[in-house]
Chain A
Amino acid sequence: MAEPMRIRATMAGDVADVKVLMNHPMETGLRKDAKTGQMIPAHFITEVIATVNGTPVLAAEMSGGISKNPYLGFKVKGPKAGDKVAVSWADNKGDKNSVEATIG
């Protein structure tokens, strides 16, 4: 169901610079549908986990306060070009998605 996540991971000196774009409506549950007048149910990514070569580097809790189609940038010291970075998310409805990339 979920669109593929986009990820860019490059080495900048000895730091891996990782940028991720997730696809998600990130509904807060506080918005009204203009046409029906009904409240749009809350539907947002609640957690994001990132690993480098399997080692967790980031465990984030998110809310509807993060913009639609969440963007996340983080940096890790230690990896080398060729290492694998994986990012996955789960939302409040139990949907999930993940992506893996090789650090360039």
Chain B
Amino acid sequence: MNALRRNVLKGAAGAGAVAVAVAAGLLKPTQAMAAWNKAAFDAKNVGAALNGIGVADPADSKDITIKAPDIAENGAVVPVEVTSDIAGTTSIAILAEKNASPLVSNFNLSGGALGFISTRIKMGQTSLVRAVVKAGGKSYTAAKEVKVTIGGCGG
């Protein structure tokens, strides 16, 4: 079971066995994945969060595009889209550097999934929104600043 979990996360050759198991209804989400990465998600700073997902010193990359607003309309729902043009992208992590817990989510890609994730995140304050990409055993990163204001007119 452990090997299967790791394989789903890494998107490696074991995916075939997982597919059969999923199709047979034997493998449900909580079984398919390893225990939730508490260490990474509870980390209070970017360094520790990246450590938690097995990343140290990601290289800045211009092949990662972050589409996010300049000024968030509402910090509770900030649309963020990350596109990685790096060949062999296997995961995209999204961090909001000044959030209490900077790691927001980590997306593992396999089976033909492109280096593309679109989602909506919460931001507690103005900060860099950082994407960290794993590809070919190496890690890469890009960031964009998103301003968060406290509006006065919403009623």
Chain B interface residues (CB < 8 Å from chain A): 8-9, 11, 15-16, 18-20, 22-23, 28-30, 32-33, 36-37, 41, 76-79, 81, 96, 99-101, 103-114, 116-122
Q: Is the CB of A67 within 8 A of B118?
A: no
Shortest distance between the CB of A55 and any CB in chain B (Å): 4
Question: Does A15 interact with chain B (Cβ within 8 Å)?
Answer: yes
If A47-B36, A68-B76, A74-B118 touch, whether A56 touches B30 (CB-CB below 8 Å) is: no
A4-29 with Cβ < 8 A to chain B: 15, 19, 28
Of the candidates B19, B106, B108, B113, the one having the most CB atoms from chain A within 10 angstroms of its own CB is: B113
Determine chain A's interface SS by DSSP, over half rule.
Answer: strand
Look across to chain A and name the residue whose beta carbon is closest to the beta carbon of B14. Answer: A56
27 contacts between A and B (CB under 8 A): A30-B100, A46-B36, A47-B29, A47-B33, A47-B36, A51-B22, A54-B22, A55-B16, A55-B110, A56-B18, A56-B32, A57-B113, A58-B107, A59-B107, A61-B106, A62-B105, A63-B101, A66-B122, A67-B76, A67-B77, A71-B120, A72-B119, A76-B111, A77-B113, A86-B22, A90-B28, A92-B36
